[in-house]
């Protein structure tokens, strides 16, 4: 068994609770449980290490609207952490592919709207030139790519919170797979950053 080599990598990133949830049960869009941990050095360095090698962002519509509604405001913000500003500049400036069956045209620059299954879009992107294809926290996209065996690098931040319900990233019925641990970092407030590569 060897690690994936050659071509563009599909890199996914998601924050999880200790019980494996990516959202609270009562309000999936409420990410307040993430915030105390997302601003730690471990979480910021983790994200920086992912976007620095990526030249394309692959996002679901809901995630795109949330990210692109917030992150551009961080650029030039007084007191902004340089790592946050770096991610914001990357997100605005990089090529973005947004999966949506409802958007007809992109309200953001450098954005292509695609109404196709995530695994098909990922395969098409992988065949083009460029750096990594980063899926930052778009759960529906990541779940579809995991189910299709399309994830090359799986990055997770685990926060010491038990949500007690809500959607899980790893659904029953995923194809069996093996992964190798590339890096692990623990930091403030018990935040844990993990990066795994798929073994093919």
Considering the domain boundaries, does residue 2 fall inside one?
no
What is the domain count for the chain? 1
Segment 100-146, tens digit of pLDDT = 999 988 999 999 999 999 999 999 999 999 999 999 999 999 999 99
CATH number for the domain spanning 94: value is 3.40.430.10
Considering the domain boundaries, does residue 49 fall inside one?
yes
Segment 83-100, tens digit of pLDDT = 999 999 999 999 999 999
Considering the domain boundaries, does residue 122 fall inside one?
yes
Name the residue range of residue 30's domain.
10-199
CA distances from 168 to 25, 39, 100, 143, 144 (A): 10, 23, 22, 9, 13
Polymer length in residues for the chain? 200
Considering the domain boundaries, does residue 5 fall inside one?
no
């Amino acid at each position: 068994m060897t690690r994936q080599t050659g071509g563009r990598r599909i890199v996914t990133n998601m924050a999880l609770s200790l019980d494996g949830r990516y959202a609270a049960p009562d309000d999936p869009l409420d990410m307040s449980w993430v915030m105390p941990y997302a601003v730690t050095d471990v979480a910021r360095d983790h994200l920086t290490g992912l976007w620095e090698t990526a030249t394309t962002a692959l996002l679901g519509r809901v995630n795109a609207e949330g990210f692109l509604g917030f992150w551009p405001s961080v650029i030039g913000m007084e007191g902004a952490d340089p790592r946050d500003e770096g991610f914001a500049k990357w997100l605005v400036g990089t090529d973005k592919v947004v999966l949506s069956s409802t958007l007809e045209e992109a309200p953001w620059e450098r954005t292509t709207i695609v109404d196709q299954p995530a695994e098909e879009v990922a395969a098409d992107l992988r065949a083009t030139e460029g750096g990594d294809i980063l899926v930052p926290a778009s759960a529906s996209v990541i779940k579809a790519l995991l189910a299709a065996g399309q994830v090359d690098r799986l990055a997770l931040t685990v926060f010491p919170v038990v949500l007690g319900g809500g959607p899980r990233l790893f659904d029953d019925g995923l194809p069996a797979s093996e992964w190798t641990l590339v890096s692990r970092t623990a930091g403030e407030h018990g935040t844990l950053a993990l990066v795994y590569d798929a073994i093919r």
